[in-house]
Chain A
Amino acid sequence: MSNMIKTSGHPMVKAEGVHKSFGLVPVLKGIDLEVQPQEVFCLVGPSGSGKSTFLRCINHLEKINAGRLSVDGELVGYRERGDRLYELKDREVAAKRRDIGMVFQRFNLFPHMTALGNVMEAPIQVKGESKSVARERALKLLDRVGLADKAHSYPTQLSGGQQQRVAIARALAMQPKLMLFDEPTSALDPELVGEVLDVMRGLAEDGMTMIVVTHEMGFAREVGDALVFMDDGVVVEAGHPREVLTNPQHERTKAFLSKVL
């Protein structure tokens, strides 16, 4: 894989037998899946099934114990030379994360910065962009998520839905090729879920590759291109969202869907 030629044909994310355990507790027990470019890929399943952990492995917030995980043709967290794997340095890991945006369940906005400051931070610090360039794009992104008038508000002055939209703008500011969403609407009041999903729908229409861990089956059915149902650290069922959600094949999928739909 070291001399892999980048072609437009390869998957954006490829997992082969990915294992992960916390101490002695196995969380992922061999995940195999592929996410194609421009795809909206939904991960669903009961809590504790390992979907969030898998998502965090993709940008190396968690280290996998076994298997292969690659993003855009490059291994996550390692370099392969000959038949040996070399751990990447912190700096190299950081450089790879630039291209992967992540949106968290609890927003994790930087509370000491305004909405604008949050969006400008990474382009300035990581890409070394000038303040004026970063600022211009940040304002455009805030406008895109419908928060142009909140640019100078601090996160505590914003509602949950507004905070999550700022978080999406913050991730987009790095112009990522892949966006990871970790239950982006789970911490929101029901009436605020829609505004966040609308922004995500817009992103999907623009062709962004997205991996979405979600309990919003309506969103998955409507926007998703692929859906994977995970339970107990394994992929139980995969397919097109409409098929899996309306005609689940496995008992566990049926049992789960009967509770959430």
Chain B
Amino acid sequence: MPPGGPTVHKSTSAGGLPPQAIKAIPVRHYGRWISAVLVLGVLSLIGVAFANADVNWNVIPDYLFFDTIVRGAANTLLITVLSMTVGVVLGIVLAVMRLSKNPVTSTVAWLYIYLFRGTPVLVQLFLWYNLALIFPVLNLGFYKDEMTDVMTPFLAALLGLGLNEAAYMAEICRAGIQSVDEGQTEASHALGLTGTQTMRRIVLPQAMRVIVPPTGNEFINMLKTSSLAYAIQYQELLKAATDISSRTLAVMEMLFVASIWYLFLTSIFSIGQYYLERRFARGATRNLPPTPLQKIRANLTRLSHRERVA
């Protein structure tokens, strides 16, 4: 090295001595301790209030797995999954239509979204349910029947919730499709893929990464919004709970039972959403974040390793 040139210190670890770990006094977080005490205080006050409240706690576990309740929860799950399926499929179609160069299809999609997003879902449920008032007979040419027989609470709930959801999903999908870099479409076109192939093979799979998180949110929302179908006599969870409480007068208890079921169902969906998001993050991040299970395993091995070092 020429004199006056920069001096380079060789890493000490290379010389044989391992670098000494820093020993410092960590920052004390007094605020966390104070807030924890406050939160515990408030929680215990709420606990005391509920313990003294006029709640018949014993009936809750009894009714949690009551036949009507379980069937109601199953119906809630069913209508949620079916309505979301209608919503997602129709939503993607509407989004593609909305972005189409064809002015007719894009206007149709715009009008659909305008109508179904602009009116309350409860109103839409009532409209479907009462359709027989204006169309007493359903005549599709190949199929003819009394509307009151066709428009069951289930079908009215499915149409009301599903078609409304499609309008929201269309906007979510549109945002997802538009988030994909234009270079992707160009590269795909340059290879000779048609517009449809490009959408299906290149754009939509990438849009999914943007579409999935809000869709999970919509799913959880739907799980709860489906309780509105109670107003049109669909036998879902809330309907089951209120039917029982109208006989037993255990109003709050049955609402608690329903809430426990809703919480349980939303938790299940949240877990599913986590893994779905992971699946569609492929290629977007260099390394996928570990799953909770992998995290636990890693922490366990690290713990045992640390013990060995100590």
A→B interface (CB under 8 Å): 59, 61, 90-91, 94-95, 97-98, 100-102, 104, 106, 108-113, 121-122, 125-126, 154-157, 167, 170-171, 174
Which of B187, B195, B201, B285 is the one whose CB lies under 8 Å from A104?
A: B187
12 CB < 8 A contacts A-B:
A61-B189, A94-B194, A108-B187, A110-B187, A111-B283, A112-B205, A112-B283, A121-B191, A121-B193, A121-B201, A122-B191, A125-B193
Interface residue B32 (Cβ < 8 Å from any Cβ of A): no
CB pair B194–A90 under 8 Å, yes or no, is yes
Given known A90-B194, A106-B183, contact A112–B189 (CB-CB < 8 A): no
CB pair A154–B283 under 8 Å, yes or no, is yes
Interface residue B202 (Cβ < 8 Å from any Cβ of A): yes
Expressed in whole angstroms, the minimum distance between the Cβ of B40 and any Cβ of chain A is 45
Prevailing SS type, chain B contact patch: helix
Given known A110-B202, A112-B206, contact A61–B194 (CB-CB < 8 A): no
Contact partners of B282 in chain A: CB under 8 A: 112, 154
Taking each of B192, B282, B285, which has the highest tally of chain A beta carbons within 10 Å of its own beta carbon?
Answer: B192
Contact partners of B195 in chain A: CB under 8 A: 90, 94
Given known A61-B186, A108-B186, A111-B206, contact A122–B192 (CB-CB < 8 A): yes
Contact partners of B186 in chain A: CB under 8 A: 61, 104, 108
Contact partners of B29 in chain A: CB under 8 A: none
Once the chains are docked, how many angstroms separate the CA of A125 from the CA of B194? 9
Given known A110-B202, A156-B284, contact A174–B187 (CB-CB < 8 A): no
Expressed in whole angstroms, the minimum distance between the Cβ of B174 and any Cβ of chain A is 19
Interface residue B179 (Cβ < 8 Å from any Cβ of A): no
Q: How many B residues are at the interface, by size bracket?
A: 20 to 34
Which of B183, B189, B197, B286 is the one whose CB lies under 8 Å from A125?
A: B197
Once the chains are docked, how many angstroms separate the CA of A170 from the CA of B193? 13
Contact partners of A106 in chain B: CB under 8 A: 183
Chain B residue nearest to A60 (CB atoms) is B189
Interface residue B190 (Cβ < 8 Å from any Cβ of A): yes
Interface string of B42-66 (1 = CB under 8 A from A): 0000000000000000000000000
Interface residue B291 (Cβ < 8 Å from any Cβ of A): no
Assuming A108-B184, A156-B283, what are 4 further A-B pairs, CB within 8 angstroms? A94-B193, A112-B283, A126-B193, A155-B283
Once the chains are docked, how many angstroms separate the CA of A121 from the CA of B184? 13
Contact partners of A112 in chain B: CB under 8 A: 205-206, 282-284
Chain A residue nearest to B287 (CB atoms) is A157
Expressed in whole angstroms, the minimum distance between the Cβ of A204 and any Cβ of chain B is 20
Expressed in whole angstroms, the minimum distance between the Cβ of A188 and any Cβ of chain B is 16
Chain B residue nearest to A111 (CB atoms) is B283
Chain A residue nearest to B205 (CB atoms) is A112
